[in-house]
Amino acid sequence: MAKRIMVQGTGSGVGKSVIVAALCRILTQDGYKATPFKSQNMSLNSYATADGLEIGRAQAFQAFAARKEPTVEMNPILLKPTSDTGAQVIVRGRPIGNMTAKEYHDYKPRALNLIEDCFEKLNRENDVVVIEGAGSPAEVNLRENDVVNMSIAKLLDAPVVLVGDIDKGGVFAWVVGTLELLEEEERELVKAILINKFRGDIDILKPGLEFLEKRINKPVIGVIPYFQDIWIQEEDSVSLSVAKGKTTVTSEEKAITIEVVQLPHIANFTDFDALEVEDDVSLRYVGGGEKLSEPDVIIIPGSKNTIGDLSYLENSGYASQIVDKAMSGKCEVFGICGGYQMLCSSITDPEGVESKLGATEGLGLLPATTVFESHARKMTNQVRAMADLPFYSGEIAGYEIHMGRTYFSEGKIKNAFRIFERSGEKVIDDGDGGGGAVYGNVIGTYIHGIFDNDAFRRAFLDHVRAIKGLLPLRADETKSKDKNTRGIDWDAEYNKLADVVRNNVDMDKIYDIIFFSSSERYG
């Protein structure tokens, strides 16, 4: 039976997901079978497992850090917000419906049994389960029906490391205040404090750490520096407002400019990580009323509220800007998932599957129609497809997570990608738009992770270069590990992350917490 450790935070965005990923990799490096677990995740960044179930993208990232295939047990409940007060509720990888905050609050007590069942499977198959909390355990209004923080720590007999983000400011008050608002039993579960995202001289910080340890009578077991040279997959779109710092040359020196429209309900923005590391690409997110510039490529990303975000494009002026630039022929327009649907002539949702707005005209850049129907199963599959594009004909892999089906309305439009395998099973793509469409300089697809395919990504970028009168980028002009592509060596990034945490945290105390802090109720 597995030992366990839980990472909770003083608030959202303090780095819990990253610390869990780092611990998963360190434990794996040290010879343990480790796995992540998060009972409830709220995120629009999701992932389709090999058996066609949907979990939070952060748990997939953590699973890969542990060198494991992601499974639904790692994230039993996923909430995908559709508005300020409601979300699609996904249980064991399948949607059970949309709920208001009040409805879900009332539902949560029923979720504890399935959460424990999922944990028990991981408990049997691993040496250590690294558990992630959500938000803050000090949200007293949520304590009664908590299914993700201290109630889970108590249920699973998990010792807790509390993480605070010093970069936000006020970390000492944050830590002290969090502990003050916990009940005595909960405070006892907190075994140590970890300070994250530190910039500056550690000697100047030491008096504050000594004060904190005396004030709370708990050890500070590490201070992790703020880093910008490691690629991590962010969980929340709030991270898009923060520069990631992977620039190798200035934007003015880069041949291709790509602008991603930052939608209010943007989903799976990690689709574009691989583009950001290409040496000839300058990629930025545009939102909040800022005008599009004169990019070579406009990308409309995925969305959890396609019709609502399409209305945002109309009301903010982005719709007319996108259409004008597409019609001018001076840039390529690429839509993924919800972005693909927005490119269509129309979108209908008569039963309110994803929006209460019913129906609307799309951007009209693809002669196709998208229809949402309640009886149609949500598509959550890992897929393989053949591309059929003027610049690339070859196999690609990715995953689809979407409601709605897209149907072509005239002969000029054609399939861009024909899916031939879903969740390991051979399928016949009947040409109804399931894989995607191409229509002149406009491409749309339901396939997430498409730019993670090295050969396709480089072919697309060289296609854009050719339009600009530039030669394809040669292999010797990149930091490529393979011919004509750079990509992201994720395994190396996990190792770099593990090194930073290992070198700045007292790992002996982490192991003491894991192996000597539980009452052995689970083993």
φ/ψ of residue 19, rounded to 5: -65, -40
Q: Is 334 helix (H, G, I), strand (E, B) or coil?
A: strand
Closest CA to 403 of 379, 381, 368, 370: 379
Q: For residues 414, 50, 236 and 282, what is the CA-based torsion angle, rounded to 10 degrees?
A: -50
Going from the C-alpha of 396 to that of each of 45, 119, 392, 482, the distances in angstroms are: 21, 34, 10, 17
- Is residue 59 classed as helix, strand or coil in its secondary structure? helix
- Determine which helix (DSSP H) or strand (DSSP E) holds 94, and give its type and residue range: strand 94-100
Helix (H) or strand (E) holding 29: helix 16-29
**For residue 329, which phi and psi values (nearest 5 degrees)?**
75, 10
d(CA 462, CA 458): 6
Helix (H) or strand (E) holding 150: helix 150-155
What one-letter code names the amino acid at 37?
A: F
**Closest residue by Cα to residue 378 from 423, 345, 313, 424:** 423
Query: Strand pairing partners for 5?
Result: 130
Choosing from 24, 118, 331, 448, which is the catalytic residue?
Answer: 448
How many whole angstroms separate alpha carbon 298 and alpha carbon 346? Answer: 20
Closest by CA to 454, choosing from 504, 392, 410, is 392
- Which residues on adjacent β-strands are paired with residue 333? 298, 442
The candidate with the shortest Cα–Cα distance to 111, out of 37, 40, 5, 208, is 40
Q: Considering only CA atoms, which of 322, 318, 342 is closest in space to residue 330?
A: 322
Active site residue 337: yes
Amino acid at 123: N
Query: Taking a C-beta distance cutoff of 8 angstroms, is the pair 472, 455 a contact?
Result: no
> Amino acid identity, residue 169?
G
Helix (H, G, I), strand (E, B) or coil at 131: strand
Q: Of these residues, 24, 337, 344, 402, which one is catalytic?
A: 337
Three-state DSSP at 109 gives: helix
Give me the torsion for CA of 208, 211, 213, 215, rounded to 10°. Answer: -130
Q: Cβ–Cβ contacts within 10 Å for residue 166, how many?
A: 22
Strand locations in 403-514 (E): 405-408, 414-415, 417-422, 425-426, 436-439, 442-445
Report how far residue 450's alpha carbon sits from residue 271's, in angstroms, rounded to the nearest whole number.
7
Helix axes 318-328, 306-316, angle to 10 degrees: 80
Q: Annotated catalytic, 105?
A: no
Catalytic residues: 337, 448
